[in-house]
């Protein structure tokens, strides 16, 4: 069932959908393979041919395609990363490169394209769709969960659980040595990941890009986290919350206090590993829905989830709006950290 956004006048393409292509773009996210699997098998059920595009938009420009069938996607639902590989393509920003990509699709008689990626990938998808009248549908996949128009994105659940396991383990060491640990997580522009890990891990403080903290404010907030009587203190720092990240913040704090401060940086490790049950189910659901929408003639939109229901969001909407963090969760984290 779709909400009111489904009643927007989406572009419709009145031709039979016999051949579709799929690619993964931007940073990899656990669950991408589950989405690919669902796409291929849903298409096969509807007698639609599927081609995989390797290396994202760059592969589209370079005509790097391979046919996929139901056996091609056997035993991939549990795998992290993406079997199609991913890449960021600066070249795709140029109209001439998008024209080459469109030519590659048309020469192979591809009727529609599915993009698994984030908001940057959807901007490219939107331009390709508009300029060359190709039906394109996006499937949100990013561990940052920062895409406007959907409550969840593929990879987010796995990433927060991997990070949370790390924080739980670090808490044992922090308590044993009476230390304050700064844990830096990905999130240059969005604090969604840090907020959920911080609340779930019982962090004494969470620093987010959305707070716009100045240097002194950030250091003071961290020092307040080292409360008397607590045997350990964990502070979650999104990478974009403080210039220079956790290491620079650690140095700033050491100049102001005597207690021991250590930093741990969780980088790309939280992108990897087997996807969680939720990410596998969610990715399968979106993959199926994306095929059905292409078959129905829809394009220039993203498939998302809102309050448990599948929604269709125009690329122009998801690309021109910024998804805010849940400030109510932030308030709860502040109250329960005391």
Phi, psi for 39 (deg, rounded to 5): -65, -50
Q: Which residues pair with 180 in a beta bridge?
A: 233, 261
Q: At what angle do helices 277-295 and 32-45 cross, to 10 degrees?
A: 40
One-character DSSP codes across 32-81: HHHHHHHHHHHHHHTT-EEEEETTHHHHHHTT-EEEE-TTTTTT-TT--S
| Beta strands 261-265; 180-185: pairing state | parallel
Say which of 111, 119, 144, 146 is annotated catalytic: 144
Going along 70-169, which residue ranges are E strands? Answer: 112-117, 136-140
Q: Are 137 and 173 in contact (CB under 8 A)?
A: no
Task: Determine whether 144 is an active site residue.
Answer: yes
What is the CB neighbour count within 10 angstroms for residue 271? 19
For the chain, the first-to-last Cα distance in angstroms comes to 42
Interior angle at CA 327, CA 324 and CA 333, nearest 5: 135
Q: Which two tokens stand for residue 156?
A: 């987010």
Cα–Cα nearest to 326, from 171, 152, 115: 152
What is the CB neighbour count within 10 angstroms for residue 107? 10
Distance CA 65, CA 20 (A): 11
DSSP state of 231: S
What is the CB neighbour count within 10 angstroms for residue 290? 28
Host H or E run for residue 205 = strand 205-207
Active site residues: 144
């Amino acid at each position: 069932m779709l909400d009111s956004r489904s009643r927007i006048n989406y572009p419709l393409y009145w031709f039979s959908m016999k051949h579709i292509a799929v690619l993964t773009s931007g940073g990899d996210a656990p669950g991408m393979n589950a989405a690919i699997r669902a796409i291929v098998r849903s298409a096969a059920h509807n007698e639609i041919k599927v081609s995989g595009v390797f290396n994202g938009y760059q592969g589209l420009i370079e005509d790097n395609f391979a046919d996929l069938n139901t056996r091609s996607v056997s035993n991939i639902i549990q795998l992290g990363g993406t079997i199609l590989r991913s890449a960021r393509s600066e070249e795709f920003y140029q109209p001439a490169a998008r024209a080459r990509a469109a030519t590659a699709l048309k020469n192979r008689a591809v009727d529609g394209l599915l993009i698994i990626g984030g908001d940057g990938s959807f901007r490219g998808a939107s331009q390709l769709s508009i300029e060359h009248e190709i039906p394109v549908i996006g499937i949100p996949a990013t561990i940052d969960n920062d895409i406007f128009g959907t409550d969840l994105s593929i990879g987010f659940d796995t990433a927060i659980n991997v990070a949370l396991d790390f924080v739980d383990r670090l808490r044992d060491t922090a308590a044993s040595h009476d230390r304050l640990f700064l844990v830096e997580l990905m999130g240059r522009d969005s604090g969604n990941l840090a907020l959920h890990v911080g609340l779930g891990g019982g962090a004494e403080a969470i620093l987010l890009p959305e707070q716009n903290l100045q240097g002194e404010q950030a250091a003071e907030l961290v020092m307040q986290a080292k409360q008397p009587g607590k045997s350990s203190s964990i502070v979650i720092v999104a990478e974009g919350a403080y210039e220079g990240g956790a290491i620079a913040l650690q140095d700033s704090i050491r100049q102001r206090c005597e207690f021991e401060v250590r930093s741990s940086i969780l980088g790309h490790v939280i992108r990897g590993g087997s996807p969680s049950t939720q990410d596998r189910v969610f990715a399968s659901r979106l993959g199926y829905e994306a095929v059905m929408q292409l078959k129905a003639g829809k394009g220039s939109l993203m498939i998302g989830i809102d309050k448990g229901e599948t929604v269709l969001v125009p690329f122009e909407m998801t690309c021109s709006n910024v998804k805010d963090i849940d400030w109510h969760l932030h308030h709860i984290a502040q109250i329960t950290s005391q």
